[in-house]
Structure 1
Amino acid sequence: MQAEDLDLAYTRLCEAMGRTGEARAPLLLAMVCLGLMSRQETLAPVLALIDEAEARSKA
């Protein structure tokens, strides 16, 4: 994905979270994550991304 596409996707996600509201944003994020995970052909990249996101969230 090109940087412009990534920026557009991030912006769309942020806008959707804003419309959804703070209380329901975790549900929206979970649904997006599950949808994206289901498109992966194998488990390994999904687990690696989860581990990377967890590590970065602690930094």
Structure 2
Amino acid sequence: MNSTELDTAYTALAHALTRVGQAQSPLFLSMLCLSLMSRNPDLGQVLALIEQAEAQHSA
């Protein structure tokens, strides 16, 4: 994805999170993550992204 496409996807995600509401956001994000992970054939890359997100969250 180029930067414009990434921005479009991020904006769509933000709008979807607003529509589902704060209470349903964790479930929505879990479902989205599982869907995206299932489309990535590289387990190592998926695990690295999980570690990266966790590290950024803990910082």
CA RMSD after TM alignment: 0.6
Q: Deviations over 1:2-45 (max 9, x none)?
A: 00100000000010000000000011101110000000112110
TM-score by length of 1: 0.96
Runs in 1 of length 4+ with deviation above 2 angstroms?
none
Name the residue aligned to 2:5: 5
Identity of aligned residues (%): 53
TM-score by length of 2: 0.96
* Structure 1: runs of 5+ lacking an equivalent: none
Aligned residues: 59
Bigger proportion of residues as helix:
2
